[in-house]
């Protein structure tokens, strides 16, 4: 709830520090004293537009600081602060400050951390609910009517939201599968053509390197063919050097025993024959490896060209072509399997839809039943508030399927008819501001709402009424404030003022050319005097004081 409000240099207010407590607090004062200035100042910290006209004449800037304290931080408020990365320790006060410069521009702070004005508007929903002559938020806004009815009915909205989420996810999976299958079928002919082309070639991993090496060897063999042919004469034929070396070795073998040096010579000659034999084998192997076969070379080059062309076509390496073939086969298998999978997804989507519809229909029935009870409760509050000719109706309309959502299938709106025979119309279309405020009061009493803003403000809800009606308004305001709540009422009615737990008097004074607005927290004697003034006017009589005492004693 709002516990403190500090105002500096706002219009006629030079410096003002107010403390607020729980229960019903009333603000009174003569017309033109500056009650609207107080609400305008509070509106700044709630995110209203920063009008430079609010800055007190002759000052460079104005500021407003509001302090809110909570036994437990409301969920919506906690989420908004977390999203904005504003830390608030348990039990710590929430302090909102807004500064406006006379030459334009404003800055906002939450617990001394700079924030955007949009955050203030978000926080305002959980902090202050203002009902006045031109109210366009709170209970007047149809956007919140469904949630209010659900809270009144104790409806299972969470179960419907869960079923909606399941249905939405099942529908998304089905749509994705259908799109994938449709795209795959469009690609099917192309996949088959590509796969047939690859299958005809049947590429193998590592094949490119093998073919490239073979081609390189053949090309080298073609270049070295003459040299190899010349070398062959060293070994081929009976008169070749190698044959002569072998004949010499055989002759030396017969005489080697005759002398040690001959034996050593034979050993060296044998080694030479062996080495020469190995050289002959390697040259023969090289000749065979580099044998130039024009037909085989042409086959290898054609194969390499085809493989590399396919690799470019599929934007991959030649060695990756076998995996490309496997991926194509998997896609084609998926197309064939897709129809079976699609049937399963369609069944899951239908089941999720049925679960959602059943829960949404149950929620619809709960809302319709609760709407009747709420209409009766509001109707019981209208007559004491001098709205006995008016009628209230909670319209629960089932929407077409394309407008269903996490909150069910219904649109909910509070409607009123102010005169007999008149058509029902939305709350925000009512002609009289005073009637609107009393309708809102009746609705809030009927709802006994616990989940609204921490602080509720009614601005001149008693406009145009008096006597028993004003007394009924005061009684309901006090009841609505209860023990733990906080409700502030700007009022001209002594009957309403007498119901306040705390009473603030707003006054305007002038010294020369300087006019100031001040606010004073009244004690018991001050309350009697202010209520007597409200009863009698400019001259406070003893009779008015006695009547003020009776009003105060009556509460």
For residue 361, the model assigns a pLDDT of 96
């004081």: which residue's tokens?
545
User: CATH 3.40.50.300 residue ranges in the chain?
Assistant: 2-156+361-554
- How far apart (Å, rounded) are the C-alpha atoms in residues 28 and 30? 7
What DSSP line would sit under 124-180, residue for residue? HHHHEEEE-TT--SGGGSGGGHHHHHHHHHT--HHHHHHHHHHHHHHHHHHHHHHHH
Which fold does the domain 2-156+361-554 belong to in CATH?
Rossmann fold (3.40.50)
Q: How confident is the model at residue 463 (pLDDT cuts 50, 70, 90)?
A: confident
Please give the average per-residue pLDDT across 424-453, as a whole number: 74
Return all residues near 198 (Cβ < 8 A) that are at least 6 apart: 310, 321, 324, 325, 328
Q: Which tens digits make up the pLDDT trace of 30-56?
A: 877 678 888 889 999 999 888 898 999
Please give the average per-residue pLDDT across 149-169, as a whole number: 93
Please report, rounded to a whole number, the percentage of residues in the chain having pLDDT higher than 70: 90
For residue 226, the model assigns a pLDDT of 56
* Residue 319 in this model has a pLDDT that exceeds 80: yes
* Residue 454 in this model has a pLDDT that exceeds 90: no
For residue 339, the model assigns a pLDDT of 72
* Residue 133 in this model has a pLDDT that exceeds 60: no
For residue 45, the model assigns a pLDDT of 92
Please give the average per-residue pLDDT across 450-472, as a whole number: 78
Of 198, 197, 201, residue with least CA distance to 302: 201
* Residue 110 in this model has a pLDDT that exceeds 90: yes
């994938």: which residue's tokens?
180
Q: Which tens digits make up the pLDDT trace of 250-288?
A: 888 888 888 888 888 888 888 888 887 787 777 777 666
For residue 27, the model assigns a pLDDT of 93
Which of 29-43, 102-116, 320-334 has maximum average pLDDT? 102-116
Average model confidence (pLDDT) for the chain? 85
Q: Which tens digits make up the pLDDT trace of 281-300?
A: 777 776 666 666 778 778 88
Sheet holding 128-131, edge to edge: 128-131, 455-459, 486-490, 23-28, 502-511, 514-521
- How far apart (Å, rounded) are the C-alpha atoms in residues 216 and 224? 12
Name the helix (H) or strand (E) containing 326.
helix 321-382
């Amino acid at each position: 709830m709002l516990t403190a409000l500090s105002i500096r240099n706002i219009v006629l207010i030079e410096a003002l520090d107010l403390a607020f407590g729980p229960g019903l607090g009333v603000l009174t004062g003569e017309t033109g004293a500056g009650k609207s200035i107080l609400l305008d100042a509070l509106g700044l910290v709630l995110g209203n537009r920063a009008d430079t006209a609010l800055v007190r004449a002759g000052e460079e800037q104005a500021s407003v600081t509001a302090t809110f304290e909570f036994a437990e931080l409301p969920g919506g408020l906690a989420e908004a602060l977390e999203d904005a990365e504003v830390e608030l320790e348990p039990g710590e006060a929430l302090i909102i400050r807004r500064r406006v410069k006379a030459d334009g521009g404003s800055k906002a702070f939450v617990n001394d951390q700079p924030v955007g004005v949009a955050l203030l508007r978000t926080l305002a929903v959980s902090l202050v609910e203002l009902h006045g002559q031109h109210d366009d938020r709170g209970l007047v806004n149809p956007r919140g009517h469904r949630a209010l009815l659900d809270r009144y009915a104790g409806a299972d909205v969470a179960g419907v939201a869960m079923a909606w989420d399941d249905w939405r996810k099942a529908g998304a999976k089905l749509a994705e599968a259908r799109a994938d299958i449709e795209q795959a079928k469009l690609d099917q002919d192309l996949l088959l053509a590509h796969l047939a082309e690859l299958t005809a070639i049947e590429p193998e991993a590592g094949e490119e390197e093998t073919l490239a090496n073979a081609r390189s060897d053949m090309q080298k063999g073609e270049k070295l063919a003459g040299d190899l042919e010349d070398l062959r004469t060293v070994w081929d034929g009976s008169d070749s050097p190698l044959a002569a070396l072998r004949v010499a070795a055989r002759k030396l073998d017969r005489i080697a025993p005759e002398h040690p040096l001959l034996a050593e010579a034979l050993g060296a000659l044998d080694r030479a024959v062996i080495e020469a034999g190995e050289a002959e084998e390697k040259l023969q192997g090289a000749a065979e490896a580099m044998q130039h076969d024009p037909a085989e070379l042409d086959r290898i080059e054609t194969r390499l060209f085809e493989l590399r062309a396919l690799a470019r076509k599929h934007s991959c390496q030649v060695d990756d072509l076998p995996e490309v073939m496997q991926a194509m086969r998997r896609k084609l298998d998926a197309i064939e399997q897709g129809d079976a999978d699609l049937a399963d997804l369609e069944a899951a989507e239908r089941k999720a839809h049925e679960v959602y519809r059943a829960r949404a229909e149950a929620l619809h029935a709960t809302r319709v039943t609760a709407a009747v009870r709420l209409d009766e409760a509001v109707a019981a509050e209208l007559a004491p508030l001098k709205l006995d000719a008016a009628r209230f109706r909670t319209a629960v309309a089932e929407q077409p399927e394309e407008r269903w959502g996490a909150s069910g299938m219904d649109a909910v709106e509070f409607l009123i008819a102010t005169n007999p025979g008149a058509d029902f119309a939305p709350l925000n279309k009512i002609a009289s501001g005073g009637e609107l405020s009393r309708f809102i009061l009746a609705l809030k009493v009927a709802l006994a709402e616990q989940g609204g803003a921490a602080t509720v403000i009614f601005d001149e809800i008693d406009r145009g009424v008096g006597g028993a009606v004003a007394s009924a308004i005061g009684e309901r305001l006090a009841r609505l404030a209860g023990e733990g709540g906080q409700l502030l009422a700007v009022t001209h009615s002594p009957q309403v003022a007498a119901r306040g737990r705390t009473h603030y008097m707003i006054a305007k004074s002038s010294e020369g050319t300087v006019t100031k607005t001040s606010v004073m927290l009244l004690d018991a004697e001050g309350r009697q005097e202010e209520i007597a003034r409200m009863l009698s006017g400019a001259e406070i009589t003893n009779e008015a004081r006695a009547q003020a005492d009776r009003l105060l004693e009556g509460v």
